[in-house]
Amino acid sequence: MVTYLTGFNPYIYPRPFLFKRCCGAKIYRLRTFLGHYRNPQRQFQPPATPTASKTGRRYRGDPLKRVYPCQRIDGTTLLDALAYEYLYYPYVKELANDVVITLNTSGVLAARWAGRRVVVDLMDLWHCDREDVAFNAVDFAAFRRADCVIAWSRAIQTLLKSYGLKCVEYLPFGIDLEVFDPLKAPKNLIYEKYPQLEGKTIIGYSGGMWYVGGIERIGVEKILKAFKAIEKDEKDIVLVMQTHPSIQRIAKELNIKNFIYIPMTKFNDIYRLSLLRNIDIKIITSTKFLPVYLAERSSMFQFMANGGAILAEDTPGVRAVLKHEYNAYIVRLNDIEDMSNKLKILIKKITSEKTSARMQEMISRINIVGEYYKDMQMK
């Protein structure tokens, strides 16, 4: 039997559902025994309001932080990190299953102390030196104590193997089309809420923003800057952003006219699926922040499930999945001009295809009328 422990809401980060489907894993919230004692029935709920991921801000109680300023992704350092692992231990020990999968490294030591076999499902390659790789000591101990680490990208797998870990396997985010299939969503559904999208060439992004040290590390703002560069020259285009509401402030500062903000929902909400089906050009940005730079992002696989045009910045994680002019257009990293130029190419191509489709539809209707007219004459 398998237990999947996660501190992240699976309605936003749905990886645990993969293991539930394939391995019958039971999904539990990663909790301290004190938290469980106070509210044993606490369950994950679909998000009522949009959120942005933030790190390094929850805990500030480690006296060693000044001499060892290397935080884990949850903001703990050494003593406080170990304290939380001890607080997780009684809760994890009560779980009946022999194998524990943890989303990231939190809870690994607690599970090992409880005598469980442990697999780390590594969503985030977290390191404390933003210019190079320097793992937090507790994180690295978790890697070494785990029976295996699952990397979500080949680039991250290669990196972890270079540190001598005994088992590092590659399992990308992937898509379960029975749970997430935009092509099954009604195409016109999103127009009911946002009728201003109909008839437009839609450029957009649907996914998260990640703040580390007060800086957004996915590079989402670049989508707005590239769109701003072409907005005046292109007709009937609109930029749609389904992400954290702070993006609205950036759009206002850039004075983007054709902009629509859509609040975040759970990952497979029917309106989100309909939106993804209708976005003509989906954009994947990145930065040189290593956890993002090496990642094969979940948004990328979700965009691929819909088909259509994808514009992605060039990184090792992107190159492992996408091929330029085969299943995506790849642009130079942090090059707004290159992104805007590729947008123009794709817009022209998509506009031509849409015009061709409309002409075929018109000809088809004319033919139907013609056949009807001939039938009337014969009668």
19 with 149, same domain: the answer is: yes
Q: Which of 147, 170, 193 is the last residue of a domain?
A: 170
352 with 270, same domain: the answer is: yes
Give the residue numbers spanning the domain of 38.
2-170
pLDDT tens digits, one per residue of 342-379: 999 999 988 777 644 444 444 444 444 444 444 544 44
Residue 237 lies in a domain: yes
The domain that holds 34 is classified in CATH as 3.40.50
143 with 78, same domain: the answer is: yes
Q: Which amino acid is at 177?
A: L
Number of domains forming the structure of the chain? 2
37 with 162, same domain: the answer is: yes
Residue 193 lies in a domain: yes
159 with 23, same domain: the answer is: yes
Stretch 165-176: mean pLDDT: 91
> pLDDT at position 359, please?
40
Q: Which of 122, 145, 170 is the last residue of a domain?
A: 170
With beta carbons less than 8 A apart as the criterion, state whether 209 and 218 touch. Answer: yes
194 with 318, same domain: the answer is: yes
> pLDDT at position 323, please?
92
Stretch 244-263: mean pLDDT: 96
237 with 136, same domain: the answer is: no
154 with 280, same domain: the answer is: no
264 with 350, same domain: the answer is: yes
227 with 98, same domain: the answer is: no
Residue 370 lies in a domain: no
Residue 138 lies in a domain: yes
Asked whether residue 196 carries a pLDDT value surpassing 50, the answer given is yes
More confident residue, 47 or 183: 183
The C-alpha atoms of residue 316 and residue 254 are separated, in whole angstroms, by 30
The domain that holds 276 is classified in CATH as 3.40.50.2000
pLDDT band at 130 (very low <50, low <70, confident <90, very high): low
118 with 8, same domain: the answer is: yes
Residue 131 lies in a domain: yes
**DSSP-derived secondary structure for 212-274:** ETTEESS-THHHHHHHHHHTTTSSSEEEEEES-THHHHHHHHTT-SSEEE-----TT-HHHHH
With beta carbons less than 8 A apart as the criterion, state whether 1 and 96 touch. Answer: yes
Stretch 54-75: mean pLDDT: 68
Asked whether residue 218 carries a pLDDT value surpassing 60, the answer given is yes
- Sign of the Cα torsion 51, 53, 56, 58 reads positive
